Structure 1
Amino acid sequence: MFQTIELTKEDRLATLTFNRPESMNAMDDVMMEELADAFEELKADSGVQVVLIKGAGRTFSAGGDIKKMMDPESPMDMGAVMQHITRLSKALYLLPQITIASIHGACAGLGFSLALGCDIIVAEDDSKLAMNFIGIGLVPDGGGHFFLKERIGATNAKKMIWGGEVLDAKTAKAAGLIDELVPSGQAEASAKQLANALFASPISAMIATKKILHESNKAELEHILQLESEAQVAMRSTKDHQEGIRAFVEKRPPVFKGN
């Protein structure tokens, strides 16, 4: 059914896997649309109570597919891409299930935004996390501004977005960006143990609480997603973005000029 992701269901647990391991699960326009479709499918599935999100291969997700952005043969339509991102971010946040992100390896850019959109984040102690849009002259998308603000407040969100640093898992945990830190190779198993503990809890009441809190923030998320979309389309036409992309591909430090 899907080309770039896998969605499996076993009893009350659904597992969604980013499945482009050859590209470090970088998200192209196809994956973004498929993620939106998958989350909207899950939203209608009353038999599922926990959704586990993970990446195939050696990493969670490297974020947006920069090589696809640069492809002159089939460049991504940024307007369509932002529509997909808006759909998937909104659907993820409003899922009527408890969501668990299981992180190993790299978790960057849009991948980090989606992880932050989950209710619980489990990460391996050697994983690396980065809200690194600034490095290519872009702003966070996927609700990154909203999800960071929810977890660490607006002041710290600005510092993280503007800095664009790669964080080790222990630093991310201390900053409140990770809920559970586990040994290397143990994230998925630990996330499944957590899911089983949730199934043994009064999970319907927990889901009801999630709905109350998330529905009350729905309008703000929608507004931020609209602002992110407008800003991202604008940033794509800047010289700084083009320089950031070239520097990334050429593996050199970018030289930004503020335009």
Structure 2
Amino acid sequence: MAYETIKIEIADRRATLSFNRPTVANSMNLLMMQELADCLEFLKDNPEVQILVIKGEGNIFSAGGDIKMMITSGDPKTFEIIMSYITRISLALYQLPMVTIAQIKGAAAGIGFSLALGCDVIVVEENSKLAMNFIGIGLIPDGGGHFFLSERVGIPKAKQIIWNGNIMNPEEAYQQGLIDYKVEEGELDSFVDQLVGKFLSSPILAMLESKKILHAQKLPELTAILKNEAEGQIKMRKTEDHLEGIKAFIEKRTQQFKGK
């Protein structure tokens, strides 16, 4: 399948999905979200694939949502479409009948970090930065961020991470249980290849059956959270704090939030 903003390669039971907007830090615009939703739904029905590696082209995984899109998508209907794509992406990712690996280099922020957290295994190269930083522009996590964070660290810790919006290095993220492996610079590709080989030489059908059982019981919760995230994000988009957060980001200054 041909896409403009992502790449997909399938060979030997492995698929590699790459975010392909490296000139804008692989930030996600409307087209990328649509293509991601379509691609993940296609993979969901592809029995030949047992491993999916998600990565970013260039030197960054994904900086999250495209700020330019946020500025220009003032029409409520457009933003509802954006949230519908995000819901499709997260549900398809969670239900994939394959082992999913996030291969992070450079940075994973915002929805980019949400989707990484939605993978079964997260591998991060040293010197990378990780951030659930929606709070900096007056928004809440989407892409299932609330669900995937609380799955990894529990609700109390998830709240702190969301509210702080701090930029974390791999060591900090590892200590908090947010990632599974941290590797030295230049070793990311080879480490992930070895991990893929290990999975493919294991009784992977049994592993995937366990994943199916565990995820099935949690799917209603994820579905409800995605609905609440969409409604909450639409609400936050109308706040003065969000507008201030966007302006401060563009003007490269400290935000002046007022709780309105």
- Fold shared by both chains (TM-score > 0.5): yes
1:13–1:49 Cα contact (<8 Å) kept: yes
TM-aligned CA deviation for residue 72 of structure 1: 7.6
Hey, what's the Cα distance between the residues in 2 that align with 1:129 and 1:139?
16
Hey, what's the Cα distance between the residues in 2 that align with 1:45 and 1:152?
31
Amino acid at match of 2:42: E
CA deviation profile, 1:101-147 (whole Å, cap 9, x unmatched): 00010100000000000000000111100000000000000000000
Q: Name the counterpart of 2:256.
A: 255
Hey, what's the Cα distance between the residues in 2 that align with 1:81 and 1:103?
24
CA deviation profile, 1:171-192 (whole Å, cap 9, x unmatched): 0000001101101122222111
Identity of aligned residues (%): 54
Hey, what's the Cα distance between the residues in 1 that align with 2:249 and 2:110?
14
Q: Name the counterpart of 1:165.
A: 166
Amino acid at match of 1:245: I
Runs (5+) with no aligned partner, structure 2: none
Q: Name the counterpart of 1:239.
A: 240
TM-aligned CA deviation for residue 74 of structure 1: 9.5
Hey, what's the Cα distance between the residues in 2 that align with 1:75 and 1:188?
41
1:113–1:144 Cα contact (<8 Å) kept: yes
Aligned to 2:113, the other structure's residue is in SS state: helix
Hey, what's the Cα distance between the residues in 2 that align with 1:159 and 1:72?
29
Of the structure 1 ranges 210-219 and 64-73, higher mean CA displacement relative to structure 2 is found in 64-73
Q: Name the counterpart of 1:209.
A: 210
TM-aligned CA deviation for residue 245 of structure 1: 0.1
Aligned to 2:141, the other structure's residue is in SS state: coil
Runs (5+) with no aligned partner, structure 1: none
Q: Name the counterpart of 1:146.
A: 147
Q: Are 2:224 and 1:223 aligned?
A: yes
Q: Are 2:190 and 1:184 aligned?
A: no
CA deviation profile, 1:196-222 (whole Å, cap 9, x unmatched): 100110000000000000011000000
Q: Name the counterpart of 1:31.
A: 32
TM-score normalised according to structure 2 size: 0.97
2:73–2:79 Cα contact (<8 Å) kept: no
Q: 1:76 to 1:54 in 2, by over 3 A?
A: farther
Amino acid at match of 1:201: S
2:37–2:85 Cα contact (<8 Å) kept: yes
Structure 1 stretches (4+) deviating beyond 2 angstroms? 71-76
Q: 1:53 to 1:184 in 2, by over 3 A?
A: same
Hey, what's the Cα distance between the residues in 2 that align with 1:20 and 1:73?
23
Hey, what's the Cα distance between the residues in 2 that align with 1:186 and 1:156?
30
Q: Are 2:142 and 1:135 aligned?
A: no
TM-score normalised according to structure 1 size: 0.98
How many residues of Structure 1 are paired with residues of Structure 2 in the alignment? 259
Aligned to 1:107, the other structure's residue is in SS state: strand
Of the structure 1 ranges 65-74 and 18-27, higher mean CA displacement relative to structure 2 is found in 65-74
